[in-house]
Structure formats: structure tokens, C-alpha cells
């Protein structure tokens, strides 16, 4: 106890002799100077063997000052005083009285004559009560087992009393009707004690009571007055551990060290051990048992869900606005030249991109997870399949290496190709749903979190997006490949902007998505925003310029006199006219000449009306048949050919242009065919059958796509 300043209390359960020996040894240690710090160091709590006795502490008051003692409540037993005659006294006491008072004198009168005070022993009442309790129990036992029988005839007189049955008759039994039981049901005595405190003068002061074994009355203020100045006396080997700590006992059974326990994942059992909860469980509020972590999901009232949902709602409204504009102005040149069928496919995919957000932020379930698997890939494949078909058509039409007319470039063929590409994505998603049925699972990013997510992992999502990544790469490559197509086909420029922006967007999204595996809120929100922004990029880069021209620049949405398809068509038509007038030495005297329409290059976004000038041009011998782009590279420009002679007669320019503008559904190539055929018929030009075949093939390649002129 000298090695710790926390253990200062000494509980004394000793008799008077051993108490005196202890105090004598303590006094010698202090007086010798070996341990002067022990002077008034200990706080004593004594049993009733110390009680209120002054003799046991006489001479040691300075060492036991402030001691707390207990003593049973003492009462005087009157019946005991009746046994004061010599015949009732023990022989030893009777011999003493004879020595003091003589044999003939009454014992009580002798004590009174000698002026010797008589004090009844304090434990006499308890002895009397104990004897009476046992006697009553025996009497009740006999009456119950042997009623109305002679004692000698009773079986108890032969076999004796059974202890367990006898306990039933003295436990929780009162001696009197208005008195509480002396022994409780467990066999413990129900006592009443007084609590005393000893001051440095050896005087006992009553500071409290213990009543009926279950209630204490203690005047703490009076207890502190009897102590030295200082903090409230505390005597422990170790203080109770705080919340979140458990006891680790050292070499002593009553002393311990408090060790911290991870209250986020562990419970404390009996304050002596720290046990970690299983995965998916956390401690309760009292740290006494583990409870299951309720799984959480993205809530609609959180900013992580509201922001992408609001963005998608605005995107849906913008998409519906574009659709309404395209339907309202479907017969205008800009809308017709855009390829309406493929544009509607793109708008459908853009709408699905925005709708996916509402699926992803919903609480995961089997239907929600299945919808997410299908719609994520389907929405983007609808957009990029249409763009891929557009760019592929342009690349094939203007390819310098194509010896024949490109196939499958009609609107219905284009829609069929687009639907086939989208169907591949849809079939893949359905197969995925069959092989791995949709469902939910609980994910534990940490020991204290449980998240309800779809069963599909991030790697599964990446695999499902590979098809769309392939479409994006192909669209980007085709957009780059067709970047030098004549400026009239400015849709390639819009497609290029769309695909470059989309590529940058998805390259930025990948690291964000896979770097936030432990934060499902950021992961879901970033996925929603990336898909929605993919639709926004297509909507803004591809459709916004067209809607702007239709609504705010309607003067550009008509056929003007300042636009054509550029130098490419001019050079091709000049080459065709040369084929028609081959081997004609003099165009002024010979009827073998042809008239070609030469129109200036276009700078408008929409397809305008043609401003045409008819001229006759001699045609050299027809070379081996090549594609229009190849022919363009072989035929010299009209301005650099000095021996090209013009006919003195030509078609009426205004009449020809009016004829061309009457039918708005024909492309530039169609008008050029009609004008060329009209010129040939009016001039009665005869050409060889071979040259005529070449002309027809070349014109069919140019005029195959009705919408290309207006792009």
C-alpha cells in the first residue's frame, strides 16, 4: 500500500487484541523515522469488533483519526436481568461474588453495596433473539410433522430434524407481528447498525445508519468535518475505467490497467475483455452486444441525388424542345439535310441518357438493377451508332479508293444499320441478365458502414461499356478522317466536336469512378453526371447549331443563290461534260458539245438554291472509269485549261435555276442530272454508248444521297 497513493483505505475485521498489535507496529514505524509519511496516512473502516470501544485505540488516537466504525443497535433486555440470584449465575461468577460479598449476601445487593456498575453485554439481545428464533422454528416443525402426537411416538424423535426443512421455519419469519424478520430468505441476518466516526480526541460521533439491510443514511458533510483538509478520501487500487476502456489485470487480482477498446467495432464483456464484432455488425449504445448495421443507399433528399436529377430533368426538357422543333420544321432544308431518321435515333438515345439518372439514384432492387444494366449501354449505343452510320456514309461516299457506287446509303438502309448496332448492345445486355440475374448485395467499405448496392460490380459495368467505348473510338476516328470533306458538308465538323468532347469526358470519368470505390455517393453521382453530360454534348454540339438556324436565322434555312456543294462537284461535272463532248474539234460549228452548270462554292450551313451558269465545254476522250473523288484529282481545273472552248449558245441561266429550285426534295446532284439531260436533249448531242454509260455511272454516284447536298 505504500507504493501507491491510491490505496489508503484499510478495512479492519480483527478482534481487539490484533487491532492493538497493528496499531502498536504502525506507531513504532512512525516513531522510528523510517516512514514518517504514514502518520495519519491510512483511512480506517472498522467492523463491529471495534465498534465504539475507546480502550482499543487508547494512545493511538492521532493515527486513527477519522476512522469509520460500525456497531449494531443495542437494546436492553429486561428479562435477562431477572437472572440475578446466585442459583442462576455461573459457578465462576458465583465464586467471585462470594469472595467479594460473602456467601449469605444477595448478589445484587452486594454489587450495589460495592458501587460496582453493572452493564449488560451489547450482544446479549442478539443471543436472545437467535435462541428464540431457533426455538420457534423447532416448535413449528414439530407441530407440522407430528400434530396431536406424543413426542416419543413422533418420527422426528427417532430420525432427527431435517436441516433444509428447518430453514423454512426460521427464514423470513418475524418474532412479533410488528417486527421485521431477523433472517431473510437467503439466510442472511437483517441487522440495523449505527455508523460512527472517531476524531483525534477519541470521541465517537454518529454520522449515519444502516437500516433493515437495504437502506443507508449517511451525513457526508459530517464525515468530511472529521477528516483533514483536502480532497474527498479515495482509496482504490485502480480507478474505474472510462467508457471505451476495459480492465487488464496485472500481477494483482484487485488492481488493473485501463486499456482502450475500439468502441466503433468492439464490445466490452464484463469490463475485462474487448471482443470485435463480426463483419456487418457494430456495438450497441452500451457496448455490451453487437447489432446488425442497417444498409444505406442514396437518398432522394440528399444533394448527391438532387443535383444529377435536376440536371437530367433540364436535359429531358431540352431534348423534348429539340424534338418539337424538328417535327415542326421537318420539311425545311436544314432539318431534311440532317438526316431526320438518324437524328431521331440520336434524340432517343439522348433522352435515355437523362432517364438513366433516375434509375441509378433509386434504391437498389432487382428491377432497378436490371434497368440500370440495360439502359446505361443502350442509351449511349443509340447515340454513337447513329453518329457512326453518318460518318461512315460520308467516308464511303468521298473515298478516293471506291471503284463502284457505295451501297446502303439510303435513309432506310442507314436506319437499319443503326438498329443492328443498337440491337447488338441490347442482346448483350439481355444475355448478361440471363447469365448473371440482377439482384442486390450489401457492401462493406469499412467496418462501420453497410451499403445496399446492385450485385454487378464496377468491373462488370466496365465490360458492359466496352461496346460503347468501341463505338466512341470509331466515331472519333471517322470524324477525324472526314474532317477535310468540302465545307458544305459541315455536319462532319459538328460530329467532330461531339466526339472529341465525348472522348475527353469519358477519359476524365474513368479515374474518378474507379478511385472512389469506398464512397458510393461520389461514385453514383459521377456516373450519373457523366452519362447525362454525354447526352448534353451530343445535344449541344450536334443539334444546337441546327435549332439556332431554324429558329433565329430562318433566312439561312432557304435555298439561296450563293451556295453549292463546292469545287468537288464542279470539277466532277466539268469532267462529265468533257466526256459528253469528246472528239469535237470545234464547238462553234459542230453540234457535238455539252453544257455544264458551274456554281460557286457554298458557305452556308443549309443547302441553298443554285445560282447556275450554263456553258458548253468540249470533252476529251473518256479515260478509264474512276470514282468521282479520283476523277477530281485527274481533271485539271477549268481556269488552267487554255484550249477549252465555250459554246456560243447556252441554256437560259435563270430558267435553269428556277427549274432546279421548284423541287426542294432533290439534291444538287439530282438537279445537275436533270439539267444535263435537258441540255443533251435540246442540243441533240450524240455520244458513243460507252461515254453515255460512264456519264450515267458518275452521276448516279454523285446524286445517290439526297440529303448530302444540304449538310
pLDDT tens, residue by residue, 533-591? 989 998 988 899 889 989 998 888 776 544 334 444 444 444 444 444 444 444 333 33
| Spatial separation of the C-alpha atoms in residues 294 and 271, rounded to whole Å | 27
Residues 325 and 474 grouped into a single domain: yes
Instruction: Provide the mean pLDDT of the chain.
Output: 72
| Spatial separation of the C-alpha atoms in residues 478 and 384, rounded to whole Å | 12
Give me 261's grid cell: 477498446
> Residue 685 pLDDT more than 70?
no
Give the best-scoring range by mean pLDDT among 227-236, 258-267, 480-489.
258-267
> Residue 129 pLDDT more than 90?
no
Residues 426 and 518 grouped into a single domain: yes
| Spatial separation of the C-alpha atoms in residues 280 and 449, rounded to whole Å | 8
CATH number at residue 309: 1.20.1070.10
Give residue 507's Cα distance to chain centre. Answer: 25
| Spatial separation of the C-alpha atoms in residues 178 and 164, rounded to whole Å | 27
| Spatial separation of the C-alpha atoms in residues 482 and 399, rounded to whole Å | 9
| Spatial separation of the C-alpha atoms in residues 609 and 611, rounded to whole Å | 7
Question: 649 lies in a domain?
Answer: no
Predicted confidence at residue 562, as pLDDT, reads 41
Residues 369 and 308 grouped into a single domain: yes
| Spatial separation of the C-alpha atoms in residues 383 and 531, rounded to whole Å | 12
| Spatial separation of the C-alpha atoms in residues 74 and 304, rounded to whole Å | 77
Instruction: Map grid coordinates 450489401 to a residue.
Output: 442
Element (H, E) at 701: helix 689-702
Interval 489-506: pLDDT, tens: 557 778 878 888 888 888
HEC string for 480-497: HHCCCCCCCCCHHHHHHH
Question: 423 lies in a domain?
Answer: yes
Residues 344 and 267 grouped into a single domain: no
Collapsing DSSP states into helix, strand and coil, what is residue 613? strand
CA-nearest of 57, 66, 42 to 227 is 66
DSSP strands (E only) in 225-307: 245-249, 256-260, 266-269, 273-276, 281-283, 290-292
- 258's CB contacts (< 8 A; 6+ apart) are 238, 239, 241, 242, 245, 246, 247, 248
Residues 175 and 216 grouped into a single domain: no
Question: 62 lies in a domain?
Answer: yes
| Spatial separation of the C-alpha atoms in residues 159 and 476, rounded to whole Å | 110
| Spatial separation of the C-alpha atoms in residues 233 and 197, rounded to whole Å | 14
Domain boundary pick from 558, 580, 609: 558
Question: 682 lies in a domain?
Answer: no
Residues 145 and 197 grouped into a single domain: no
Predicted confidence at residue 4, as pLDDT, reads 62
Beta bridge partners of 258: 247
Residues 439 and 348 grouped into a single domain: yes
**Residue that wins the pLDDT comparison between 28 and 223:** 28
Predicted confidence at residue 361, as pLDDT, reads 92
Alpha helices (H) in 177-302, listed in sequence order? 220-225
Question: 616 lies in a domain?
Answer: no
**Residue that wins the pLDDT comparison between 43 and 225:** 43
Interval 303-338: pLDDT, tens: 999 999 999 999 999 999 999 999 999 888 888 877
Residues 369 and 262 grouped into a single domain: no
Residues 211 and 64 grouped into a single domain: yes
| Spatial separation of the C-alpha atoms in residues 651 and 196, rounded to whole Å | 138
Tally of domains in the chain: 4
User: Max Cα separation, the chain?
Assistant: 193
> Residue 118 pLDDT more than 90?
no
Interval 347-373: pLDDT, tens: 999 999 999 999 999 999 999 999 988
Residues 460 and 333 grouped into a single domain: yes
Residues 271 and 155 grouped into a single domain: no
Average pLDDT of span 446-462: 81
Interval 150-161: pLDDT, tens: 777 787 877 788
CATH number at residue 222: 3.40.50.2300
Predicted confidence at residue 47, as pLDDT, reads 86
Predicted confidence at residue 115, as pLDDT, reads 58
DSSP strands (E only) in 262-419: 266-269, 273-276, 281-283, 290-292
CB-based contact 334:605 (threshold 8 Å): yes
Interval 408-427: pLDDT, tens: 777 788 888 889 999 998 89
Average pLDDT of span 121-137: 82
Question: 177 lies in a domain?
Answer: yes
- 344's CB contacts (< 8 A; 6+ apart) are 323, 326
Residues 443 and 322 grouped into a single domain: yes
Question: 437 lies in a domain?
Answer: yes
Gap between the terminal Cα atoms of the chain: 100
Question: 83 lies in a domain?
Answer: no
Percent of the chain with pLDDT over 90: 9
Q: For residue 260, what are the domain limits?
A: 245-292
Average pLDDT of span 41-46: 83
Confidence class for position 231, pLDDT limits 50, 70, 90: low
Predicted confidence at residue 322, as pLDDT, reads 94
| Spatial separation of the C-alpha atoms in residues 47 and 10, rounded to whole Å | 11
> Residue 195 pLDDT more than 80?
yes
Predicted confidence at residue 202, as pLDDT, reads 80
What predicted TM-score, i.e. pTM, was given to this entire model?
Answer: 0.53
Confidence class for position 483, pLDDT limits 50, 70, 90: confident
Beta bridge partners of 702: none
Average pLDDT of span 85-91: 50
| Spatial separation of the C-alpha atoms in residues 127 and 146, rounded to whole Å | 28
Amino acid at each position: 500500500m505504500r507504493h501507491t497513493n491510491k490505496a489508503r483505505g484499510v478495512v479492519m475485521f480483527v478482534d481487539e487484541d490484533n487491532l492493538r498489535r497493528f496499531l502498536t507496529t504502525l506507531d513504532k514505524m512512525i516513531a522510528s523515522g523510517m516512514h514518517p509519511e504514514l502518520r495519519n496516512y491510512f483511512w480506517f473502516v472498522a467492523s463491529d469488533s471495534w465498534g465504539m470501544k475507546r480502550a482499543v485505540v487508547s494512545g493511538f488516537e492521532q493515527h486513527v483519526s477519522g476512522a469509520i466504525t460500525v456497531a449494531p443497535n443495542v437494546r436492553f433486555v429486561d428479562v435477562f436481568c431477572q437472572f440475578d440470584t446466585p442459583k442462576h449465575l455461573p459457578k465462576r461468577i458465583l465464586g467471585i461474588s462470594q469472595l467479594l460479598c460473602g456467601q449469605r449476601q444477595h448478589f445484587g445487593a452486594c454489587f450495589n453495596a460495592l458501587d460496582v456498575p453493572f452493564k449488560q453485554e451489547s450482544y446479549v439481545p442478539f443471543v436472545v433473539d437467535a435462541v428464540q428464533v431457533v426455538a420457534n422454528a423447532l416448535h413449528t416443525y414439530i407441530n407440522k410433522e407430528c400434530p396431536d402426537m406424543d413426542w416419543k411416538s413422533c418420527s422426528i424423535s427417532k430420525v432427527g430434524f431435517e436441516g433444509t426443512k428447518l430453514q423454512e421455519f426460521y427464514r423470513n419469519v418475524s418474532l412479533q407481528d410488528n417486527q421485521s424478520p431477523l433472517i431473510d430468505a437467503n439466510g442472511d441476518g437483517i441487522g440495523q447498525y449505527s455508523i460512527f466516526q472517531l476524531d483525534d480526541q477519541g470521541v465517537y460521533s454518529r454520522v449515519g445508519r444502516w437500516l433493515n439491510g437495504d437502506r443507508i443514511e449517511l451525513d457526508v458533510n459530517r464525515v468530511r468535518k472529521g477528516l483533514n483538509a483536502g480532497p474527498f478520501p479515495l482509496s482504490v487500487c485502480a480507478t474505474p475505467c472510462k467508457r471505451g476502456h476495459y480492465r487488464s489485470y496485472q500481477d494483482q487480482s484487485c488492481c488493473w490497467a485501463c486499456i482502450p477498446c475500439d468502441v466503433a467495432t468492439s464490445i466490452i464483456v464484463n469490463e475485462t475483455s474487448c471482443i470485435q464484432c463480426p463483419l456487418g455488425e457494430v456495438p450497441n449504445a452500451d457496448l455490451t452486444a453487437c447489432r446488425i448495421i442497417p444498409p444505406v443507399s442514396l437518398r432522394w433528399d440528399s444533394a448527391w441525388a438532387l443535383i444529377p436529377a435536376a440536371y437530367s430533368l433540364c436535359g429531358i426538357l431540352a431534348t423534348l424542345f429539340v424534338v418539337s422543333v424538328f417535327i415542326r420544321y421537318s420539311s425545311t432544308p436544314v432539318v431534311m439535310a440532317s438526316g431526320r431518321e438518324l437524328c431521331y435515333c440520336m434524340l432517343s438515345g439522348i433522352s435515355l441518357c437523362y432517364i438513366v439518372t433516375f434509375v441509378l439514384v433509386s434504391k437498389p432492387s432487382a428491377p432497378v438493377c436490371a434497368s440500370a444494366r440495360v439502359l446505361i449501354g443502350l442509351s449511349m449505343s443509340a447515340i454513337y451508332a447513329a453518329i457512326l452510320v453518318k460518318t461512315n456514309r460520308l467516308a464511303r461516299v468521298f473515298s478516293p479508293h471506291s471503284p463502284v457506287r457505295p451501297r446502303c446509303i439510303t435513309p432506310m438502309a442507314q436506319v437499319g444499320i443503326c438498329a443492328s448496332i443498337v440491337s447488338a448492345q441490347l442482346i448483350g445486355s439481355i444475355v448478361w441478365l440471363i447469365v448473371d440475374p440482377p439482384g442486390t448485395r450489401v457492401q462493406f467499405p469499412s467496418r462501420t458502414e453497410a451499403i445496399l448496392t446492385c450485385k454487378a460490380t464496377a468491373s462488370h459495368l466496365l465490360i458492359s461499356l466496352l461496346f460503347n467505348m468501341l463505338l466512341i473510338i470509331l466515331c472519333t476516328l471517322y470524324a477525324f478522317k472526314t474532317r477535310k470533306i468540302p465545307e458544305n458538308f459541315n455536319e462532319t465538323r459538328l460530329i467532330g466536336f461531339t466526339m472529341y468532347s465525348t472522348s475527353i469526358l469519358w477519359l476524365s470519368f474513368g479515374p474518378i469512378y474507379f478511385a472512389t470505390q469506398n464512397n458510393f455517393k461520389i461514385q453514383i453521382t459521377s456516373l450519373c453526371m457523366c452519362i447525362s453530360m454525354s447526352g448534353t454534348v451530343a445535344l449541344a454540339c450536334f443539334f444546337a447549331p441546327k435549332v439556332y438556324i431554324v429558329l433565329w436565322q430562318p433566312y439561312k434555312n432557304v435555298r439561296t443563290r450563293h451556295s453549292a456543294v463546292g469545287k468537288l462537284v464542279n470539277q466532277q461535272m466539268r469532267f462529265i461534260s468533257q466526256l459528253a463532248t469528246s472528239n469535237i474539234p470545234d464547238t462553234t460549228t459542230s453540234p457535238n458539245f455539252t453544257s455544264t452548270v458551274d456554281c460557286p462554292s457554298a458557305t452556308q450551313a443549309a443547302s441553298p438554291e443554285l445560282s447556275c451558269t450554263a456553258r458548253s465545254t468540249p470533252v476529251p476522250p473518256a479515260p478509264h472509269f474512276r470514282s468521282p473523288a479520283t476523277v477530281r484529282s485527274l481533271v485539271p481545273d477549268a481556269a488552267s485549261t487554255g484550249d477549252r472552248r465555250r459554246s456560243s449558245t447556252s441554256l437560259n441561266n435563270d430558267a435553269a435555276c428556277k427549274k432546279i429550285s421548284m423541287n426542294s426534295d432533290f439534291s444538287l446532284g439530282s438537279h445537275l442530272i436533270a439539267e444535263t439531260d435537258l441540255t443533251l436533249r435540246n442540243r441533240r448531242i450524240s455520244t458513243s454508248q460507252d461515254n453515255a454509260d460512264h456519264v450515267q455511272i458518275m452521276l448516279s454516284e454523285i446524286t445517290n444521297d439526297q440529303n448530302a447536298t444540304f449538310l
